Every structure is written in structure tokens, then in C-alpha cells.
Amino acid sequence: MSEVTLTVNGRAHTVDVDPSTPLLYVLSDDLELRGPKFGCGLAQCGACTVIVEGQAIRSCVTPVEGMDGADITTLEGLGTAETPHPIQQAFIDEQAAQCGFCLSGVVLTAKALLDENPKASDEEIQQSLSTVLCRCFVHVRMMRAIKRYAAGLAR
């Protein structure tokens, strides 16, 4: 076991865990966050996505030891139910969520892309989201929500 200090959603946390523990387990088990979810455990579905230092990563295959001191954002770190982040509000406005299992992956992947490239094309957005699996087939509404958010960034 070893102590690792993480900054998650703007708050510092020190956890005593096996350094090879996947970041997802620390976020869900130790910090009790429910945004990132266990899906495939192989970094193929995107349900466990978080943003680390501006990049969308798969937390199910990321050892916590490499995250010491990193700035980590989960879906919960974007906004609250009372004051949602603009990308969350866009998803609410477009009714772009159904079961919600992929939502963390879709929202955080899109946010990381648009933070880096606010004028991303539809093709770039689709390419970025191609690694996030959604079984509910609300893709059209999700794209409308992401484009709504992007339009707000362009102002």
C-alpha cells in the first residue's frame, strides 16, 4: 500500500491503496463518485471516462500511481443539479440522455475535445466519440447537445 494524493473535482484527497489499483476503483470505492462507471474493464466502452490534465482517459485501466498530483475531473465535477455546467445543460435541453450509462464518457470526451478545439467539425466530434459505446441510440440528440455547447463556446 502507498499514499497517493489526487485532486478530484478541485478537492485534494489522499488515499492509501495498492499503486496498481485502477483509478476507477479509487474514484468509485474510496471517493464514492458515481459518474465514472465500470463497463468493460478494457478501456473499450468509455463508461469510466474522466478528464485528467485536459485529456479524456479511461480510468478502468489507469493505475492510480500515475495520477499522484494530477488534476482529475469526473462528471460530478462539472456542475450540480442546481447549476449544471453548460455542456450538461445542453444535454438537458436536448433531452440527450436515456439510460445514462455512457453519459460520463460522452460528456467528458466531448468536453475535452471542445476545450482543446472549440471549432471541432462534426466529423471530429464523431471521431472523438467513436470509442464511447452507447446502447440507447440517442446519438442524434447527443450530437445536437454537443453542437449546442460548442456554439456557446464560439460566442
The domain limits of the chain are 2-77, 86-154
Q: At residue 21, what is the residue type?
A: T
Q: In what order do the strands lie in the sheet with 71-73?
A: 11-17, 2-8, 71-73, 49-52, 55-58
User: What pLDDT does residue 139 have?
Assistant: 84
Q: Which of 99, 98, 76 is nearest to 88 (CA)?
A: 76
Whole-number mean pLDDT of the chain? 94
Rounded mean pLDDT, 42-49: 95
User: What pLDDT does residue 155 have?
Assistant: 64
DSSP-assigned letters across all residues of 119-141: T--HHHHHHHHTTS--SS--HHH
Q: Model's pTM, two decimal places?
A: 0.93
Domains 2-77 and 86-154 share a fold: no
Q: Which of 152, 143, 88 is nearest to 121 (CA)?
A: 143
pLDDT higher for 63 or 131? 63
Rounded mean pLDDT, 139-149: 93
Rounded mean pLDDT, 19-24: 97
- Distance in angstroms (rounded) separating the CA atoms of residues 139 and 121: 16
CB 68 within 8 A of CB 4: yes
Residue 29 has pLDDT above 80, yes or no: yes
Residue 25 has pLDDT above 70, yes or no: yes
User: What pLDDT does residue 135 have?
Assistant: 81
Class of domain 86-154 (CATH, top level): mainly alpha
Class of domain 2-77 (CATH, top level): alpha beta
For 48-101, write each residue's pLDDT tens digit. 999 999 999 999 999 999 998 899 999 999 999 999 999 999 999 999 988 888
